[in-house]
Amino acid sequence: MEPAMPTRLDAVGPDLLGVKLRLSGQVLSYDATTGLVLLWARDVAVLVDVSNCVSAWTGWSKEHLAAVITAGYLERAPADVRVPGLPKHFPLPAPKTDERVVLRALSVVARDVEADVWNEGCEVQHWRKMKGL
């Protein structure tokens, strides 16, 4: 089985289509009807389709700003994708979201990871890969 590449949310885009990614962030919003999540860190959010791995009764789906780690393949988002709305209390500006891509989640687990620690780990992983280590 191919390992998922730990990736910063701000690095997710069309150039990674077809790649198995591992992302960490907070669930900013969740639409149980479509199964779409806005996974958020700082000023960026990524669309994640959790419909194949989450039941309507999953604990983190009801928790405000639940911290999760998810893994899946990055795909093109359907043209008619409906981005989950932001919570009314969310301070503007809205996070940058690339609506052209969606992560099709294979797993989602509640896990509290500081964004700085995650991002530093992703940078180290990328550097090691570039050096062939």
How many CB atoms lie under 10 A from the CB of residue 73? 17
The Cα 131–Cα 133 span in angstroms is 6
Predicted TM-score (pTM) of the model is: 0.81
Residue range 38-60, pLDDT digits in tens: 999 989 999 999 998 876 556 66
Domain that holds residue 20: 5-131
- Which phi and psi (to 5°) does residue 78 adopt? -60, 150
Q: What is the pLDDT along the chain (133 residues), one digit of tens a residue?
A: 788 999 999 999 999 999 999 999 999 998 888 999 999 998 999 999 999 887 655 666 567 788 899 999 999 999 999 999 988 888 878 899 999 999 999 998 887 666 666 666 666 666 666 656 5
- Looking at the DSSP bridge assignments, the partners of residue 110 are 68
Within 10 A of 6 (CB to CB), how many other CB atoms are there?
19
Which residues have CB under 8 Å from 63's CB, separation 6+? Answer: 27, 110
Supply the CATH number for residue 75's domain.
2.40.50.140
What is the count of structural domains for the chain? 1
